[in-house]
A and B are shown apart, each in its own frame.
Chain A
Amino acid sequence: MPPAIQCEAMAEDALLLRFGDTIDLAINARVHTAASHLRQRWPELECVPAYASLLLRFDPNEWSSTSGRTPHQRLGDVVQDALNNLSTESVDTRLVDIPVHYGDTDGPDLVEVAAITELSIDEVITRHCATEYRVAMLGFAPGFPYLLGLDPALAVRRRTDPRQRVPAGSVAIGGSQTGIYPDELPGGWQLIGRTPQRLFDITADTPSLLAAGDRVRFHAIDEATFQQLAATKSR
């Protein structure tokens, strides 16, 4: 039996479900299993997953009751019931492969990351590509994935002087996490490479390449391949 879910009324139309209070793959997987189940069952609920919590935004009129329970209480009860009977097996998730050109001008902090971690540049790249990551949540900017699963040897502190402009597609390490900047943004993470893949495209049917819960793998490409792929994407 998984630990109980805590419900917190956050706003008039918002209920926060807490599954834990740490950044943990198993807890995060429960969040995504719950989100996927609730979306299927109540498509009109808006589910916003984070590391260990899931925000539900709902229409209080739809969840009012005659028994004196508030809409938050009623939704909380119904959701708890639905999730308690859910298997803890995680749902099938997609594996998305992301090509990255590591180092050079695309990864200006790679040398520093290698120095801090006392690994060779090749070792940093090999280790970054060796893991399968999980998109814990999207946030900060449209389509920005917070990825769990970074090799602890690669954890490096954020930069003391954040950049005003990080180029779109930059692959970065911030603390024990890794992420990809979907657009040109300010940012303080260490930039180790860049992908030609577009992460957020408002003209696409699904605007975000990645969804919370997806699995991600990086593979190293050289600069020529990067240019070639970038040219195909912009066409």
Chain B
Amino acid sequence: MSVTVIKPGLSSTLQDAGRPGFAALGVGRAGAMDGPAWQLANALAGNHHGEAAIECTLVGPTLHFTQPAVIALTGAAISAYIDGRSIPMWTRCQLPADSVLQLGGMAVGCRSYLAVRGGFDVRPILGSRSSDLHAKLGYAHGRALRAGDELPLGIATPLRWSHDMEDAHCLPWSIDPHPWFDFAFQPLALLPGSHSKLLDDNSQQLLNNGKFILSKDSNRTASRLDGHTLSLRRSLELISEATLPGTLQLPPSGQPIALLAEAPVTGGYPRIGQIAAVDLPRLAQRRPGDTVCFRQTTLDEASLRQAGQQQRLTRLLRTLTERLEHSRWKRLP
């Protein structure tokens, strides 16, 4: 069973939890930029083993399903039609055989996730099916989807209340996206970086209170932040050290760069902060032109918030499994 890509969208890639553990070989983690949204899409589709889903960027793909399929969409609010009929997000949908799923633009946000029951079953590389466009690893040597791609689906046990249906169906309920999508563009919590103290006074002010604009030079590797130019009190000659997703670097241009999922594993620019892990999915949902603000945080606060988020997610995943067991389809309006 497979899904055919009719139109690829802007930059659609297969993503799972990524490939941790290979940074010493120069291989970054990659993986879904908005982890909770990816996990919830999988849970709604009935996947429980970290299956690969499609991460859509700004404009989603158009896909042809030859066989009936169970799907779920989460993340940024994306226009989604099955053979001309709009389908809801943050719930589970069933597509009949020979369906065309047309994903369009996003009203707000930057990344949506499409999970299909069974998961996209491409060959894992170093334990992960994530595409790393920067390192050229993953499906088709780590490139974005193209028209004509045939994406194999994993085998999933049929849903016990699933039956041959001629129309698309969805569930009569959906998850509240608010805890999982930052509609308010809240400031991102920033941990101090190795060289934060070397920022001059004005730059410290700007970093804490200024509004930055996400540049169009942004991808899965990094986002450049425009709007203010920051400078250090003295110039630094640094040797390369490990970098992480979330590291805020200051290159000579003075325009900060936030490293993201496909961050190189080492870098030599001054590090003026580390974005709290719990806020990285929020940054992943900002699109070029959106504002980005920071607020100082501490390791304790950042760790507590992350643990809290993880608990909420675990709880939701548990209740979801229960609820999905007892739900019945309804026909799309």
Residues in A lying within 8 Å of B, measured CB to CB: 8-14, 16, 21-23, 35, 46-53, 55, 57, 60, 70, 72, 137-144, 146, 183, 200, 202, 207-208, 211-212
Contacts and interface: CB of A to CB of B under 8 A. Distances in A.
Interface of B: 20-27, 125-126, 135-137, 191, 194, 238-242, 244, 246-247, 264-266, 274, 276-277, 299-300, 302-303, 306
Nearest to B193: A10
Contact of A11 (B21, B135, B191, B264): B191
A48 B246 contact: no
Contact of B24 (A51, A140, A202, A211): A211
B25 A138 contact: yes
Nearest to A60: B303
B266 A50 contact: yes
Contact of A14 (B25, B27, B244): B244
Contact of A139 (B191, B265, B277, B299): B265
Contacts of B247: 10
B25 A208 contact: yes
Contacts of A53: 241-242
Contact of B194 (A8, A13, A139, A183): A8
Nearest to B300: A70
Nearest to B132: A142
B234 to A, nearest CB: 15
Contacts of B300: 70
User: Closest 6 A-B residue pairs measured CB to CB?
Assistant: A55-B242, A139-B266, A138-B26, A48-B23, A208-B25, A48-B242
Given A51-B240, A140-B264, A12 B306 contact: yes
Contacts, number: 103
B20 A46 contact: yes
B125 A139 contact: no
A14 B99 CA distance: 45
A8 B328 CA distance: 53
Given A12-B277, A48-B242, A208-B26, 4 more contacts: A47-B24, A50-B242, A202-B125, A207-B126
A16 B277 contact: no
Among B238, B265, B274, the most chain A Cβ lie within 10 Å of the Cβ of: B265
Contacts of A183: 136
Contact of A23 (B24, B137, B239): B239
10 contacts: A9-B299, A10-B242, A11-B246, A16-B241, A21-B238, A50-B242, A57-B23, A183-B136, A207-B25, A208-B26
Contacts of B266: 48, 50, 137, 139-140
A72 B299 contact: yes
Nearest to A183: B136
Among B22, B276, B300, the most chain A Cβ lie within 10 Å of the Cβ of: B22
A139 B274 contact: no
Contact of B240 (A13, A47, A70, A139): A139
A205 to B, nearest CB: 11
Nearest to A54: B242
